[in-house]
Structure formats: structure tokens, C-alpha cells
Structure 1
Amino acid sequence: MCMYLYIDVKHLHSIDSTICNLTKEKTEKSRMAEFVANASLEILRDLLVEETKSLLSVSGDVDKVKADLRSIHALLMKADRDRRDSPTLKLYVSQLKDLAEKAENLLETYAVEVQSKREGRRSLKDKFKRYVCIMCECISVHQVGNEARDIISALADLAKKVESELDQQGSSSHSKQEVEQQSLLRQTYAHEVEHDFVGMEKDIALLVSKVKDETRRKRVVKIYGMGGLGKTTLARKVYNHIDLQSYARAWVCITQQFEHKAVLGKILKQIDSKAKIDELEVDDLVTKIHSLLEVERKCLVVIDDIWEDVHWEIIKQAFPVNCDVILTTRSEDIANQQSEPYKLEFLTKDDGWTLLQKVADISPDDPDLKSFEDIGRKIVLKCEGLPLSICVIGGILRNKVHTQWIEVNLNMESHLKHGKGVGKYNRVNQVLELSYDALPYYLKPCFLYLACFPEDHEIDTEKLYLLWMAEGFISYQDKEANETLRDVAQRYLIELGMRCMVQLHDEANTYTPLTKFVSCGLHDLMHDLCSSKAEKEQFLMRIDASKYLTNILLPTRIAISHDPFSESSIEGLKEVRGLRSFIILQKNSHYEPTMGFKESMVNFKKSQYLRIFAAEGCEFEGEELPSTVGELIHLRYLSLRDSNVREIPKSICSLPYLQTLDLRVSPDIKLPNVIWKMKRLKHLFLNTKIEVIGGEKLKLGGLQELVTLDKINTERTCIADIPTLISLQKMRVDVCDVDSLLIVLNNKNSQLRESYLSVHSCDFSSENGREVLNHGLMSPSLVSLEIWYCNMGSSFPYYKPEMCQNLVKLWLIDCKVKVDVKDFGKYPMLQKQG
């Protein structure tokens, strides 16, 4: 099929010379064919003269789409910031997002099929082929132009509707009344009585002692944690503690609808009941509060439910240095420099059962206490120590018999989402949704994407970063100097962790310069929220491999999870259109492929704009990758990890936007020697047991954007290409000879931050060998070094200053060498040795 071409007026002048050259080369026997060819070219030339203007205008339309796309994102951010419950607005925003995706797809198609062909070909034969094909190319370029103009028109129309609806909603008295009602419902007060209070005795005692300690430098304590943990309850217990009754005190609840004048007025009114708030401006309020608290020797202010750091910055000026302040927040990032953080933990199993017993009103003297406790502890375990969810279930269980407790235990998820509890504990999701609503625009899709992983799944952070990048969630505008997109993705994840939306699993024993967190996860209730939001907003749906999907309305992103311990397959996806992500995840990696995958399972022609295709742990029909995958020119992420694919087709090099290629498959795999042509490839994952078709070594030179290379074998790879990979930050290499090790270690790439080397059967006993090893140990990028079956000579190199600055792991396996273990203790970062 012909590709799109960019046609310039200058190219037209070459047609005449092309015809002349061709004419001279013709023989008398082919005069009739020559006449036909010349006639065709003459007609084509005339057509081109007429077409040139419109063809050249296409690039202008595309530039307009680019500009409008930026405007869309700005408008979406505004719509997200000024959230309204208008069904009309939600519909418009949904349509706007769809249009944004169409615009992105158009721009990419244009870049691949038009701009990439601007230079054309130079030989006479190629020029002839080019112009023979030009008729259908004209049509293709026209289609790009027409589609661009349609998008521009639709964007302008929708943008006006969204802005109009935002203005209408913003001025609506009904809308303002709803906001005020929601704010009032969320207000907390110091005098509220905690009927269902359990534990926290140590927390209360510690925080009271901090308030009473007048020698402390930081007088601000920040209680933070996930929604529903009991931060307000703890703050209230401290505020009302008998030892602090003599303090000048004030309690104020912020909520997301922050109004600084109203907040300052509430604080002043509690300190001075006679103060005339209405007559004071903000500056006067700050000055008045400050002067009143300054003369008090002891004072305490609780600021409950603060959401933004800027809110604290606005009101903190009212508090003198002698004033103790307690903040409660869901974000660890609030008031970082001025406060002493206090993270509230989840309830223990025993405290959880005690709380459930209280809320469910089970008497300690109940004759059936033991049977209630047996099932009650199972319920508490499913609540994962979150007091809010325990209170919800406790309210449902009140006055229920034992058999009903068993039924509730079997339907916990439904009860937590929909069951009415006691008083304010009527909905879990309502409380947790506040955390989601408070997320900035750029973090919401990152959070919703976590729905593709099953419950209780240890999410590999590196995989998550690559998926986020492939989806386009990570903004280039957020990059700082010397940062990669992967660094920005890590910052996004840390921010989600600091907002207590995601649990970051910090494994200090695996620290490396690049990796702060090896894995992350979601609390079960947060996972429920994430999944329900993703499904409700038609963003993503995760399904089990056992489901048959016919007649199910599916979003543009599908994640399928399957159990490696049972064979499974999936049907019903052939008619699905417009997929953006298709992800099959094995619940536990590194197992034999168990899920059947047929080429007919997914119709890729109906999902030509697919960005992510991950088929992990799949058993492909015929052990082959579907041939149509090579036509997915928008693909960013291709993973066949733990699958049974044995050979990769040459067409893989025709994926111009591919960023991540994961070929860590179960058997050995044959590769065409074309990977070096994939200019945008950033992350390449291989098994060392690869076979290059044709018997050559795998070429990597030319991958100027490659960031991750994991992992290659020096026997099967052109190791001399490594120094040419100027963007490389992380590499994992199996080294089989001293010369290759020297090339790897001599890499002068300043971007390289992590090297993982596994050295096999090398001779380091010679002077050259010892020099290479000594030189390698001085490399600042060396993170892991495994030496197998090597002749090390008399002894391992003695420690020198600056040796092994970042070496985390050092293994010597079956090596003939004398080792001074005390030397290893001098390596500053060494955590694993053997």
C-alpha cells in the first residue's frame, strides 16, 4: 500500500527530466509501453499542478491541531479544577477527551506517513516508483487534511460548549448551595463525642507530651495518613485532653473549599468571643490572632482536614512561635519544613476486633462471643486495619445473628461500597473519593491506571513507569534539568504515596541510585475505589480470563489477569473497536505460559491506534506473534514476557513510536537483526539466550534514545555498540571475556547510572586481567557484580578510595581467590555479598 508523501513544487520540475531519461532508455520494441507511461506521467503532472496548493496546506492544518490540542488539555484541567456534578458537562468533557485522542492519533499518523517521506528517494528508478504511486498518495494526504479540518471544527464547537457550561454552573445559585451543603456535612467540631473509640492511647500520650514540651523547636505537629484512619479522632482526643484544658484553644476544619478569611475568623472567634469578625479584613485578622496568642503562655490550634500546602502558607502567619499547632491531612507533603510529621498507622488485629465488637454492640458476656469473634476477626482482616471500614461493617452487623455475620463476611466488598453503617460511617467510598477528587489533573489517570493490577498485587514500579510513559501520562513539561521521563514518573508515584493513595514498599536492602521503591500496592478499599472510578469513567476495565465478553460495553483500555496455576483463555474480543491498551498480566511472573492466545482473539485492524500490547504469560498459537502487530504504528509498549513466542518477525522494526520492547520469553528466541533501526526505542528487555537470524551478532548501534538495556550476552551481541548508546542509564550484561569487560567498563557515557554485570569464566590472573578488574571496581555506575568460575589470581583487589562507590551486590561463585572480608566492609553501599 502506498505511504503518504509530502510534495513540494520543486519536485514537479524533476518530472520532465525523469520522463526524458526514461524515454531515452526505451527501445523501439517498447514504444507503445513508453507512450502509455509518458501519457500517464503527463496527466499526473497536470494533476499535481492543481493539487499542490491543497497538499501544502495540510501541514498548516496539522499545526493548528497541535495548538488546539494544547488548548484542550488546558480546558480539561479547568473543568477538572472547577468540578461540577452537571451530567451535561461530564458528557462534554468525555467527548473532549475522545476528540483529544483522535487529534493525537492524527498527528502521529501524519508524522509517520507524511513527514518521514519528505526527503523522498534519489535514484531514477526510485523516483519513477515514487511518482507512479503519487495518485493514491494525493488521496491519502487529502484525507489527513480533511480529518484535521473536521477535528479543528469539532474542537472549537465543543470548547465553546464546555466553557459555557462551566460559566453557567459557576454562576448557578443551586450549584453554590450544593457546594456549601457538602462543605457543612464535612465540617468537624472539637466537642463531638467519640462513642466508638479504640486504641491510640500511646499516640495520645505522645502527642500531648509534645504539646506540653515548651523546649521544642518545631511547634507544629502534622498527623497524616489515609482517609478513614482516625486522624480527626486522634486530634480531638489530644485537643480535649485534661492536661490541655487550661490552654487557649481553637479548632477549625478546612475542607477542600478553602476560604482563608472564614477560617481565620473562626479561629479568632474561639480565642476572643467578643471580636467583631465582619469588621476586619484578612490582614487585621492575622494581626489580631497573632497578638492575642502571643500574650498567652500556652495555646493550641487544631487545623483539621487541610488539603493544600498553600492553605497552610496563607494562615500560618497568624500563629506566633509559642503557639502549638496540630494539623491533620491526607498528604505527607503539607507544611514539610515547619512541621514534625506523625504518621497514623492502621489498627492492630486485636484493636480492630475490639472496635468491631463495640460498634456491633456485642457484649463481653454474650454466650456466643467466641463464635462471633471467630468470624469477626476474619472480617477485621479483610478491612486491613482501617477504622472507617470496620465501623461501616460493625453498623451493618448490629443486631445480626451469627449466620448473618457469615453472610456479611462473604460479601464484604458489596457491603463496604453500599452498606449503611452507624451515623457518619454510612459510606466508605464517599470518604475515600475526597482523596481522589483532591488529586491534581495530571495524577488522576496515573492513579486510575493502577486498576489494571489485581487486588493484593505487588506492582513492579519499573513496569508501572513504562506503562504510564507509553500512555502519555508523564508530561515532558514536568522534566527538570538532567531528568528523564522515568524520573518524572517516579516523582508522580512518590506524590501519590505522600497523598496516602498508594502504599510504597521501601526495600532498603535493594537500594540503587535509580530505584527508590521496588514495588507499590493499594489498600483493598483504595483498590475498590480505583477500579470503580476507572470503570465508571470508561477509562479502564480489568477482567478475569475466565469471562466471556460478548455484548459487554468495554472502555478503550482492557486489562486481563490470569492465574499461572490454571489454564485459561478469553473469548468475545473480536468485535471490540478502538482499543488503546490491551494488557494481559500473569498474577505471578516467571511461570510457564498458561493462557491461550489466538490471532483471532483481538481484531487489531479495528484497534489500529493501540498504544500498549502486553501479552504476558501467554501461549501463542503456533508460537508466533500475530503478524498484524507489525501494522500498529502507534504502539509504544510491546511485552511478550513469559510467553512462548520463539521468533520475532522483521516487521517489528516498522513500529516507529515503540518505546518499550520486552522479549523476556520462556524459551530461546530468534530475532531479526533490525532492532538497531528502532530509533525511538528507550527500554529493551531481552534474555541472554537469544539467537540472531542469520548468525550475526545483535546490532545496537543507532539506538540514540535507549535508556534501559536488560539484558545482553557479550557472545551474541555487538558489544562495541554499547559506548555509542549515549542515553543509556541502566544496563545488565553477561560478560564472557576480559576484552568485552574492558569495552563495557570503558563506557564514557555520563548518563550511565546503573550497571549490573555477571562475569563468567574469565581469567583475571594476568596483569592485563587484574588491571581491567581494578578499573571496573572504580566505576561509579557499578551496582551489582557477580563473578562466576573465574581465575582471580592470588587475591581479590584490595580496597582503594572511591572503589565501589555504589556497589550494592558482590558475589564470588566458585572462584579461586583469596579474599579479605574486612575490605568488603569498606564498600560504602554494599548490602549483599556471597
Structure 2
Amino acid sequence: MKKNVGSCFKQRAFEQGHEPDPKLVEIGKEIVKKCKGVPLAAKSLGSLMRFKTQESEWLYVKNNEIWRIEGDDDNDDDGDGIVRVLRLSYDHLPSKLKQCFAYCAIFPKDHEIEKETLIQLWMAQGFIGGSSSSLEEIGEEYFNDLLWRSMFQEAKEDEEGNIVSCKMHDLVHDLAQSVAGAEYFRMIEARDEEVAQPPTITIPEGVRHVALLDPGRYKRTNGIEFWSQLKLSNKVPTLLSPRKSYYGMRLAILFWSQLKLSNKVRTLLLLPPNYYFGMRLPIERIMSCACLRVLHLHLSFIERLKISSIGELKHLRYLHLSLAPLIETLPASITKLQNLQTMKLINCSSLENLPKDTGNMKSLRHVDLSGNEEIKALPASITKLENLHTLNLDSCGPFENLPDNLGRLRKLRIINLTITAGEHVMRELHGLNLSGDLTIEGVEQVRDGKEANLKEKPHLRSLTLEYGGEGNNDDDALEGLRPHPSLKELKLKGYGGMKFASWMIKSSLLPNLVRIQLRDCPRCESLEFSGPLPSLEYLSLSELISLKSITSKLRKGEGFFPSLKELYLFHLPKLESWSVVMAILDGDQEVVVVEEEEPHNSLSVVLFPHLPNRWIIEGCPKLESIPWGWPARERVDLCLIDAKALELVLKKKDEEG
């Protein structure tokens, strides 16, 4: 048994911290031999065995007939053996997972599959059962189960550690195609660039899903011949368009002229532009497919999109239209889509609003309007969508107003919101569940920042506060905009107050802050950081024209910005010093005595244990004191560093040496 393969199997098959049954261990060693030394096979089989506790169940897998298919397993090609392992794992999947897995055959090999999109597609196909309120949670369980069983690979995580996408191993993808059977058709790209004669393809009658990926390596003349000869069954319900290639519009016209769509089509999925081939889509044919459940189009090459009859697609549950710059308004008929669960209108740069009766679409759960800069208002009827779970407004707005009582939609999570501060909109923020980024423009108009209730919004990742023009620059207003301690990023621009809010610089109030950017705050003369800000990786101070000093107050034993990686000091013409002082704190963490400043090498403080590997120090002509020197062994990228600042750094190095 190869050690790493046996370890992969053991980690999956036996619960950590529990002594496994010796009999199962011995049977497991025999099962591992079926893996041919391949970790993927070991993980897949180990996951299969995890919930089998009886000796008879383990013997059944060990002696399964599948090992004897196509010959003696001892003489099998490794690839064949792995396929058998994967097939056995598939055979033991619950039926609810089998259909979800088979549906993944619709994607090309090596395609990065977004988890959220995949779950929404499963929902649209009716693969996920359960109460309406828990469909996404059940879909998440299905996804995680398939991931655990090694049906998915290369899972990517966001900064919070949540899985956002995955891929399928080529052999796993082959299995998905195999079990999908006659309902799926795929054309594999030609590997030999010298191939002159493309195949003549006839789509079988029973096909329900078609993927045409890349004829681009066939010679130009014969490529045109291929597309002109391609015949599609009138019952094809799924089509993946080929990649855009050098054949251009001529082939696109030939391809789409041959396309025949049956009114029994359930899914039409055209992948993003690197897979997209067409220049003009037969929209009128698509709109005639009355049984469509999924319509996913990237439309960057469409001259004009006429979807006035889209309301006739009564069974539509998933609609994705993106890169359609000529869509200015949506047809009113779209509000007739009573079964629509997911509506994504992304980067439709001319789209200005949603229909006023959007609230009639009672099944809507997910709306993504990201990239639509012209959308600056939401219809009042949106507050009727009681099943709405997510509303992505990234790059929309700024919104001067939000619909009354939007906060009453308790299931709703708004992603990436930009507003213009005003009394009404600030009150509406109070009850909203916000996530992602929040940008508030015109903060000088805020009377009472506490109305926004930002400190009760734990899912907010980034907060941007922008001042502009005349108005209230009262320090108290900024103090009231204190966010939740989970905040990761803070940006402040144009603030006209004399001092920064306490929550901005207290480590105990924002322990998870990773990025700070302070810009164009012309009246602030001093900046104090209280505590080490342990998670801070990026600090940018720019155009603080009155700033004279920066002080870091630490207790003995605390690190000085222990995680900082990037430091930018730009155009701080009056800045004279950055000092570290030791503070004695009382039980309430309030400073009661500050010791005399000492040379940093005598303090019980580790200064920059991970020294920034990128510095920009420019426009700081009066800077005379800094609390760190050149790193002993680390490489540092010095960009635009003032000669005087560089001299200080080198001087510190000499003192420490």
C-alpha cells in the first residue's frame, strides 16, 4: 500500500479520534489496492466507506462485481481502475445526488463552476426538495456532500473561508457524461491543428442537452462546412454554444441558421464569451420554447434584444442575461413570470430600472443587478417579495432613497450597496441585513449616524464613507457610524473634522480590520492607534495635509501592526513623527497613564514582525522619526520613497546593528 494513498483513504473512511474496527482496517487495505496508487480514487472510496459500519458492507465493496468488469483488476490500466472506483462511488450516491451530479455534465471540462449558480440551477430543475425557506441550505448540503465524495475538485474559498467555486476532475467529468446518458451530447474539440476534415455530426433524436465547444482547430473552409451541415433534433432542450473562434460572423450565421429548438426545451445555457460563438441569436425561437426552466445568455454581440414575449415562458425559474448594453428597460411582461426564482441582469450598462410591478414575481429569491450603473432606484413593489433572499446591487446607484419598509423583508440580504446620505435613507438602513460593501456618499449630510445601526450588521465586509461639499463635519456624526467588529475594510475620504472617531483606531473595537485607507482629511492634525490592530495588512494615509504626528499606543507584550504587509504614506507635508508609546491601562481598557516614549529597541514590543514588503513614502519632507528600521532578512519593495525617509530607515538599521 502506498503510504499517501492509504492515508487519504484512512482520513476519509474512519472518524478521527476513534479507534477503527481492526477487521474493517484489514478489509480497507484490500480496498485501497483497487485505487492503483491514485489519491483521487482513495478519497472517493474512503468517503464512500465513511458511513458504512458493518463488516458485510465493507466486504460487499471489496468483492463488488465492478472490479471484474473488463478483465482482471490486477492487470487493468490505471485509468480503467480509477473509473471503476468513481463509478462505484456514483452507484452508492443517494438518488437525489445522482441527478445533481449528472447535471454537471452540461459544463465543459475544466470549467470553474460557481457554487451559488450551480445550486440555483439545481433548484430551477426541481432537483432540490424541501420547504421553500430551506432550498438553498439543502442545495449547500448536496454540494458539500458531492465535494466530500471527491466528485468536485479544486474548491476555491473566499476570504471568509466559504467555498465559492469548484472544478471537476476530467475522469469525474467523463463519469458525469456517461451517467447523463443519451440526454446529453458533447462535441470534443480537435486536438490536432492539422486536422483538415471535421466530422459530420448528426444529433440523435433522444438528445435533450447539447454542448458544442470548439470547432476552431479545423481548417477554416471545412469548419464552415461543418457548421453548415450540423443538424439538430427538434427536441434538443439544452444547448451550449461553441467558443468564439476566428471563423467570426459567417460561421455564427450558419450555426444559428441550422439551430432548431423544440418547445419541450427545458434548459438553454450559453457560457461566457470565451465559450460564446454567436454574433446574433434567434431570440424569437428561444422565446417560443414554452417549457424553458433555465435561460442563461451572455449577449455582448447582440445588435438588438427583443424579449417582449418573455412573459410567456411560464415555467422559467432561472433567467440570466448579461453583457447586453442595448437593454434600457425590461418588458412589463417579465412580471408575469410567477415561477421565476433567480433573475440576474449583469452588466447591462443601459438598464435604468426594474418594472414597477416587479413585486408580482412572488417566487423571486435571488436578484443580481451588479454592474448596472444607471440603476439608481428600486420599485416600491419590491417590498412585496417575501421570498427574496439576496439582492446584489454592486456598482449600482448611488441610491438617494430606498423603498419604505424594505427592512421588513426578513429573509433579504442586500449585497454591495451605495447610497447618498439623507435622513430617510439612513433610517431605512437601520433594519436592513447588509453584506459585502457599503458606501455612503455625502456623509456631511448625516445628522445622527446611529440611525443606520451599522454596529448591528455583522455581515458587512467593507465600509466606505465619503464627504463632499458643505455640510455637517461634526465629529459626533462620524462617531455614530461605528460598524460591527467583524468589519474587514475601512475607507474614509474628505472628512473635515478635527479628529478621527474612536472606533476607527481602537484595536478592541475593530479587531478584524484588514485594510485602512484615509484620504483627503484636511483638518486632522494627529492620528493615534490604540492597540496593535492585529489583523491589519494594508495601511494607506494620503493627502492629510495638516497631519503632524502618528502615535501607536501599546501595552507591553503587544505587537506593533503584527500582520502589516503594505504601507503607503503619501503627501503628508506636515508629518514630523511616528512614535510608539507604552500605555498603562485600567480594567476598562482606558488609558490612565502614558509612560515616556522610549527608543523602540528598549520596549517589550515586536515592531513589524512581518515587516511590510511594499512601502510608498512620498511627499513627507518633515518626517524626522519612525519606529522601525530595515528588516534583517526580508526583501522590501521601496517605491517612491523620500530620500529623507530612506535615510531614517537606514539609520535605524545602523542603531540596531
TM-score by length of 1: 0.46
Please say if residues 502 and 522 of structure 1, whose CA atoms lie closer than 8 Å, have aligned partners that are also in contact.
yes
User: Match for 1:713: what amino acid?
Assistant: G
Q: Which residue, out of 794, 810, 816, partners 2:490?
A: 810
The answer as to 2:250 corresponding to 1:450 is: no
Secondary structure, aligned partner of 1:758: strand
> After superposition, what is the alpha-carbon deviation per residue over 1:420-468, rounded to whole angstroms, capped at 9, x for unaligned?
9953536253332222222111111211222222222221211112111
The answer as to 2:313 corresponding to 1:629 is: no
Residue 465 of structure 2 aligns with which residue? 787
| Greater fraction helix | 1
Secondary structure, aligned partner of 2:438: strand
Please say if residues 614 and 638 of structure 1, whose CA atoms lie closer than 8 Å, have aligned partners that are also in contact.
yes
Cα distance, 1:753–1:799 mapped onto 2, change above 3 Å: closer
The answer as to 2:355 corresponding to 1:701 is: no
Residue 657 of structure 1 aligns with which residue? 339
- Number of paired residues? 441
What is the deviation of 1:490? 0.9
What is the deviation of 1:615? 0.7
Cα distance, 1:715–1:473 mapped onto 2, change above 3 Å: same
Please say if residues 738 and 769 of structure 1, whose CA atoms lie closer than 8 Å, have aligned partners that are also in contact.
no
What is the deviation of 1:519? 1.1
The whole-number CA distance in structure 2 between the counterparts of 1:825 and 1:588 is: 47
> After superposition, what is the alpha-carbon deviation per residue over 1:704-761, rounded to whole angstroms, capped at 9, x for unaligned?
221111115353764324224243134432111143552343216xxx4736422223
Percent sequence identity is: 23
The whole-number CA distance in structure 2 between the counterparts of 1:206 and 1:429 is: 18
> After superposition, what is the alpha-carbon deviation per residue over 1:654-688, rounded to whole angstroms, capped at 9, x for unaligned?
21211111111342214432322222211111147
Alpha-carbon RMSD across the aligned residues, in angstroms, is 4.7
The answer as to 2:37 corresponding to 1:220 is: no
Secondary structure, aligned partner of 1:541: strand
Residue 147 of structure 1 aligns with which residue? none
Residue 540 of structure 1 aligns with which residue? 209
Please say if residues 325 and 350 of structure 2, whose CA atoms lie closer than 8 Å, have aligned partners that are also in contact.
no
Cα distance, 1:552–1:475 mapped onto 2, change above 3 Å: same
Residue 356 of structure 2 aligns with which residue? 673
The answer as to 2:351 corresponding to 1:551 is: no
The whole-number CA distance in structure 2 between the counterparts of 1:789 and 1:594 is: 46
The answer as to 2:619 corresponding to 1:619 is: no
The whole-number CA distance in structure 1 between the counterparts of 2:514 and 2:146 is: 28
The whole-number CA distance in structure 2 between the counterparts of 1:617 and 1:726 is: 34
Cα distance, 1:646–1:689 mapped onto 2, change above 3 Å: same
Residue 241 of structure 2 aligns with which residue? 560
The whole-number CA distance in structure 1 between the counterparts of 2:343 and 2:7 is: 54
Cα distance, 1:799–1:221 mapped onto 2, change above 3 Å: farther
Residue 486 of structure 1 aligns with which residue? 136
What is the deviation of 1:236? 11
Secondary structure, aligned partner of 1:663: strand
Secondary structure, aligned partner of 2:417: strand
Q: Which runs of 5+ in 1 are unaligned?
A: 1-193, 195-199, 209-215, 223-228, 238-253, 257-303, 318-324, 330-416
Please say if residues 232 and 328 of structure 1, whose CA atoms lie closer than 8 Å, have aligned partners that are also in contact.
no
The whole-number CA distance in structure 1 between the counterparts of 2:156 and 2:56 is: 32
**Residues 515-534 of structure 1 aligned to structure 2 (within 5 Å):** 516-534=162-180
User: Match for 1:311: what amino acid?
Assistant: K
The answer as to 2:123 corresponding to 1:469 is: yes
Please say if residues 734 and 757 of structure 1, whose CA atoms lie closer than 8 Å, have aligned partners that are also in contact.
yes
Residue 157 of structure 1 aligns with which residue? none
Residue 280 of structure 2 aligns with which residue? 597
Cα distance, 1:745–1:206 mapped onto 2, change above 3 Å: closer
> After superposition, what is the alpha-carbon deviation per residue over 1:445-503, rounded to whole angstroms, capped at 9, x for unaligned?
211222222222221211112111111111115x7xxx521111111100001111012
> After superposition, what is the alpha-carbon deviation per residue over 1:514-554, rounded to whole angstroms, capped at 9, x for unaligned?
xx211111112212222343353446332227674842346
> After superposition, what is the alpha-carbon deviation per residue over 1:547-596, rounded to whole angstroms, capped at 9, x for unaligned?
7484234643323354599956341223544110101110569xxx9842
The whole-number CA distance in structure 1 between the counterparts of 2:398 and 2:427 is: 10
Cα distance, 1:702–1:770 mapped onto 2, change above 3 Å: closer
Residue 52 of structure 2 aligns with which residue? 311
The whole-number CA distance in structure 1 between the counterparts of 2:473 and 2:59 is: 61
Q: Which residue, out of 238, 247, 265, partners 1:579?
A: 265
What is the deviation of 1:691? 5.5
**Residues 163-174 of structure 1 aligned to structure 2 (within 5 Å):** none
| Greater fraction strand | 2
Cα distance, 1:739–1:795 mapped onto 2, change above 3 Å: closer
Cα distance, 1:815–1:207 mapped onto 2, change above 3 Å: same
The answer as to 2:43 corresponding to 1:232 is: no
Q: Which residue, out of 405, 430, 433, partners 2:84?
A: 430
Q: Which runs of 5+ in 2 are unaligned?
A: 11-15, 23-28, 63-69, 185-207, 216-225, 518-657
Please say if residues 221 and 327 of structure 1, whose CA atoms lie closer than 8 Å, have aligned partners that are also in contact.
no
TM-score by length of 2: 0.57
**Residues 34-433 of structure 1 aligned to structure 2 (within 5 Å):** 218-220=18-20, 232-233=32-33, 307=48, 309-312=50-53, 314-315=54-55, 422-423=75-76, 425=78, 427=80, 428-433=82-87
The whole-number CA distance in structure 2 between the counterparts of 1:316 and 1:305 is: 16
**Residues 503-522 of structure 1 aligned to structure 2 (within 5 Å):** 503=153, 505-507=155-157, 509-511=159-161, 516-522=162-168
Please say if residues 630 and 654 of structure 1, whose CA atoms lie closer than 8 Å, have aligned partners that are also in contact.
yes
User: Match for 2:175: what amino acid?
Assistant: L
User: Match for 2:113: what amino acid?
Assistant: I
**Residues 12-27 of structure 1 aligned to structure 2 (within 5 Å):** none
Q: Which residue, out of 819, 823, 827, partners 2:510?
A: 827
Please say if residues 349 and 374 of structure 2, whose CA atoms lie closer than 8 Å, have aligned partners that are also in contact.
no
Please say if residues 108 and 213 of structure 2, whose CA atoms lie closer than 8 Å, have aligned partners that are also in contact.
no
User: Match for 2:365: what amino acid?
Assistant: K
The whole-number CA distance in structure 1 between the counterparts of 2:246 and 2:459 is: 39
> After superposition, what is the alpha-carbon deviation per residue over 1:26-80, rounded to whole angstroms, capped at 9, x for unaligned?
xxxxxxxxxxxxxxxxxxxxxxxxxxxxxxxxxxxxxxxxxxxxxxxxxxxxxxx
Q: Which residue, out of 323, 340, 355, partners 1:642?
A: 323
The whole-number CA distance in structure 2 between the counterparts of 1:221 and 1:778 is: 49
Cα distance, 1:789–1:824 mapped onto 2, change above 3 Å: farther
Please say if residues 48 and 89 of structure 2, whose CA atoms lie closer than 8 Å, have aligned partners that are also in contact.
no
Secondary structure, aligned partner of 2:322: coil
Secondary structure, aligned partner of 1:551: coil
The whole-number CA distance in structure 2 between the counterparts of 1:423 and 1:544 is: 31
What is the deviation of 1:689? 4.3
The whole-number CA distance in structure 2 between the counterparts of 1:781 and 1:621 is: 40
User: Match for 1:543: what amino acid?
Assistant: L
Cα distance, 1:326–1:562 mapped onto 2, change above 3 Å: same
Please say if residues 637 and 658 of structure 1, whose CA atoms lie closer than 8 Å, have aligned partners that are also in contact.
yes
Please say if residues 633 and 655 of structure 1, whose CA atoms lie closer than 8 Å, have aligned partners that are also in contact.
yes
The whole-number CA distance in structure 1 between the counterparts of 2:283 and 2:130 is: 37
Cα distance, 1:526–1:792 mapped onto 2, change above 3 Å: farther
Cα distance, 1:757–1:576 mapped onto 2, change above 3 Å: same
Please say if residues 534 and 540 of structure 1, whose CA atoms lie closer than 8 Å, have aligned partners that are also in contact.
no
Cα distance, 1:543–1:654 mapped onto 2, change above 3 Å: same
Residue 292 of structure 1 aligns with which residue? none
User: Match for 1:629: what amino acid?
Assistant: I
Please say if residues 236 and 265 of structure 2, whose CA atoms lie closer than 8 Å, have aligned partners that are also in contact.
yes
> After superposition, what is the alpha-carbon deviation per residue over 1:171-194, rounded to whole angstroms, capped at 9, x for unaligned?
xxxxxxxxxxxxxxxxxxxxxxx7
Q: Which has the higher contact order (CA 8 A, sep 6+)?
A: 1
**Pair member with larger Rg:** 1
Please say if residues 244 and 274 of structure 2, whose CA atoms lie closer than 8 Å, have aligned partners that are also in contact.
yes
Cα distance, 1:461–1:559 mapped onto 2, change above 3 Å: same
